Structure 1
Amino acid sequence: MINFNGTILAEKETFLTPNNRAYNYSDGLFETIRVINGKIMFWEDHYFRLMASMRILRMEIPMSFSPEFLENEILQLIEENKLADQSVRVKINIHRKEGGLYLPTSREIEYIIRTSTLENPFYTLSEEENTVELFKDHYITSGLLSTLKSTNKIVNILGSIYAEENDYQNCLLLNEKKSVVEALNGNLFLVKDKVIKTPPLTEGCLNGIIRKKLLQIIEKTEGYTIEETPISPFELQKADELFITNTIVGIKPITKYRKKSYTTHTAKNLLAKLNTKARLD
């Protein structure tokens, strides 16, 4: 079952038309959320990121869209799908109501909420091979719009196809300045000695929730220095560790880039702190 504008529908029911603006013009956003036994992880951060993104895209936010309203919509759908005692991935899609061409006839929105199950209740460190390469066919444009979780992810799609065709598990994306911005599915962190770097939002990387949480954690972790600074491709092979972050996996180490293999000591340390923060927030 899904939630479409507050109505619970069977997933196979037709509820979108060919005139949908997200389909035609990528006039939409999405938010991916982790829910554990009925608790939404980092809900306040997800909610405010979604509201800020809607404002940036000049969408009309309904008066009813309070944190309490959306939280209730999510939890009701989880209950309807009999997932209340499980680990759940929730995806919220927001799109502008249909009508118009590039210029919409309305700034009002519609929303869809979907659920699927997750394997683990909290974050675990993957020991799977995770070999990456630079994706250089197309670039992320630095600037505010690239920081949003919009429905325009064509560079990530093409990068994913490139990774599959060349037997990589992931790719790192570049911006027009040839700086490393992020991975296909999350933010990038680089560790060298005790300095941890991640690209600033001005480089065009996603304004990730786990990125934000790790910045807070690292600032309070003795022995490490955090820097939000552009990352050159030349730094990758000099790093001790590289890892990717997103809401679903938490922290995923990169095991190999070209001839360089990486350790996971810092990732393991930070993952434990992230799980603690997830329980307490």
Structure 2
Amino acid sequence: MTASNTNYCCFDGHLIPVDSVKITTANRAFRYGDSVFETIRCFGNRPFALGEHYSRIKRAMQATGMEPDSLPTCDVLEKKIESLINRNRYFISSRVRLMVFRKDGGLYTPATDQSSYLLEATPIDQSTFEMNEKGLVAGIFRDMGKSPDVLSPYKTGSALLYVMAAKYKQRNNLTECFIVNTNGMIIESISSNLFWFKNDKLYTPTIASGCVDGIMRRQVIALARNLNIEVFEMPGVSEENIRKADEIFVTNAIQGIQWVVGIDDLRYFNIKTKQLYLEFIKSIN
């Protein structure tokens, strides 16, 4: 936080106090969830894997029909992120959220495909990715299913499925919750991609199953293959088979690798997961 105790954001390239952002009731993200976003881990004032985040949000803009060239270049965006972090004095580590939304106008049919963007930052105390000491206890949310489609690989403002899954997690005193697709297969968790070890092989749902095309997912798959670990991308996983896993972990761009200790009364190890985590930390240092 700055010395004046004011938190700043970056709205369409301008650093302003967060309470000065002018968004009206005509905002399409507010009205229709007409937006896409990225969450980016920053160390010091340097965003991690920004090029991959930038590429994904450009693909998301294309998929939603927004004009991709209305977003600044990756180099410009990197400078805006650095300025935002410096202004807020988040010098250890931070979480930056990049939200892109279609400009005002129209009802369901947009009046324009030009977009605005908003960068927000919150501090993180840890100076690197840290694997959780206490394993996550997961449940399975089955009240709704995620449809595999042209938007399912991306993070969009239409996030009620994840909200409902988070409420299920809260009601059941869980620390993680898995999400199923419309075929009833487990494909991801609320904010992470899913991996599991079985007989020394690593498995993860394929993007075609409906899971988010995660930045950390790609990094973990590439790292595992470099370590000569066989990786199989599956059309999701049944509850029966996830319960038979030797180890389970989830990944995202903010927390890195987080291991799962249990589903209901079942318990899992984290030996191979921890080895993979240590190799990942070594690869980025």
| Fold equivalence (TM over 0.5) | yes
1:224-235 alignment, distance < 5 Å: 224-230=229-235, 231-235=237-241
Give the distance between the partners of 1:268 and 1:242, measured in 2 at CA. Answer: 11
Structure-2 separation of matches of 1:48 and 1:161: 31
Which of these residues, 51, 71, 76, is aligned with residue 44 of structure 1? 51
The answer for the alignment partner of 2:224 in structure 1 is: 218
SS at match of 1:122: coil
How many residue pairs are counted as aligned between the two chains? 277
Out of 195, 203, 206, the residue aligned to residue 189 of structure 1 is: 195
Pick aligned residue for 1:6 from 13, 16, 26: 13
Residue aligned with 2:68, SS = coil
- In the alignment, the residues of structure 1 paired with residue 113 and residue 36 of structure 2 have an alpha-carbon distance, to the nearest angstrom, of 14
What is aligned with 2:160? 154
With 177-186 and 53-62 compared, the bigger mean Cα shift is at: 53-62
Question: What does residue 75 of structure 1 align with?
Answer: 82
Q: CA RMSD in A?
A: 1.2
Q: How do 1:198-213 and structure 2 match up within 5 A?
A: 198-213=204-219
Match of 2:262 in 1: 256
Write out per-residue CA displacement over residues 25-56 of structure 1, whole angstroms, 9 at most, x where no aligned residue: 11001110011122211111111111111111
How far does the alpha carbon of each residue in 1:142-190 deviate from its partner, in whole angstroms, 9 at most, with x for none? 1231111111111110011011111111111001111111011100001
8 Å contact kept, 1:126–1:252: yes
User: Aligned letter for 1:54?
Assistant: M
Over 2 Å off, 4+ runs: 61-64, 276-279
Conserved 8 A contact 1:243-1:253: yes
Specify the code of the residue in structure 2 equivalent to 1:226.
Answer: V
Write out aligned runs for 1:113-152 (5 A): 113-152=119-158
> How far apart in 2 are the matches of 1:38 and 1:186?
24
TM-score of the two chains, using structure 1 as the length reference: 0.95
2: CA distance, partners of 1:276 / 1:144: 35
Q: What's 1:60 paired with?
A: 67
Report matched runs for 1:16-55 at 5 Å.
Answer: 16-55=23-62
The alpha-carbon deviation at position 15 of structure 1 amounts to 1.1
- How has the CA–CA distance of structure 1 residues 101 and 190 changed in structure 2, closer, same or farther, with 3 Å as cutoff? same
Question: Where do residues 164-183 of structure 1 align in structure 2 (5 Å cutoff)?
Answer: 164-183=170-189
Q: What percentage of residue pairs aligned between the two structures are identical?
A: 27
Instruction: Report what 2:246 is aligned to.
Output: 240
Aligned-residue offset at 1:72: 0.7
Shift of 1:63: 5.8
Distance in 2 between residues matched to 1:100 and 1:110, nearest whole Å: 16
Q: Is the contact made by 1:41 and 1:278 (CA closer than 8 Å) also made in structure 2? A: no
Q: Using the alignment, how far apart are the partners of 1:178 and 1:113 within structure 2?
A: 35
- Residue 245 of structure 1: how far off its partner (Å): 0.3
Q: Distance between the aligned counterparts of 2:135 and 2:259, measured in 1? A: 9
